[in-house]
Amino acid sequence: MPRNILDEARIHPAIRDRIAGYNTDIVREVEAAVASNDIVVVGMRQNPFPKKARRLLDAAGLAYKYLEYGSYLSDWRRRSALKMWTGWPTFPMVFVKGVLVGGAADIGRLIARGEPGGKAAGRGPA
């Protein structure tokens, strides 16, 4: 699935480093969590959908790591780096075994089909 991303040749050299370094700390933090946890939920305060994803995982007895970045009124610039990195436009962002599976409704469908988890996933929140 190729994603439409502006080719580097069409970005002026004077701003390439700024683009490459845009809020990379938050992306590195999520990458590290995804690498060390079977299930990761990335969310924000005041948004009911990360809570819904967590409730679904709790009800299924699946362990997960939860990362929360700000609210509707704060940290939106930092969160935009995650949206640009993943291509996923909303929160939560749910990763299972290193793969972005979508949001709350998507993890709900996977749980209903018995897909996420397995022996390595463990039980309860991390």
pLDDT for residue 49:
98
Structure tokens at 67: 């990362």
Higher pLDDT, residue 63 or 5: 63
CA dist., res. 79 & res. 71, Å (int): 10
pTM of the model: 0.87
Residues near 100 by Cβ (< 8 Å), separated by ≥ 6? 86, 88, 93, 94
Greatest pairwise CA separation for the chain in angstroms: 50
pLDDT for residue 116:
79
SS3 track for 55-122: HHHHHCCCCCEEEECCECCECHHHHHHHHHHHCCCCCCEEEECCEEEECHHHHHHHHHCCCCCCHHHC
The region that residue 15 occupies, defined by phi over 0 for left and psi between -120 and 50 for alpha, beta otherwise, is alpha
Residues forming a β-bridge with 68: 43
Domain extents in the chain: 8-112
CATH number of 8-112: 3.40.30.10
How do strand 39-43 and strand 65-68 relate by DSSP bridges?
A: parallel
Q: Span 90-114, mean pLDDT?
A: 96
User: What proportion of the chain, given as a percentage, has pLDDT over 90?
Assistant: 86
pLDDT for residue 117:
60
- pLDDT tens digit sequence for 6-64: 999 999 999 999 999 999 999 999 999 999 999 999 999 999 999 999 999 999 999 99
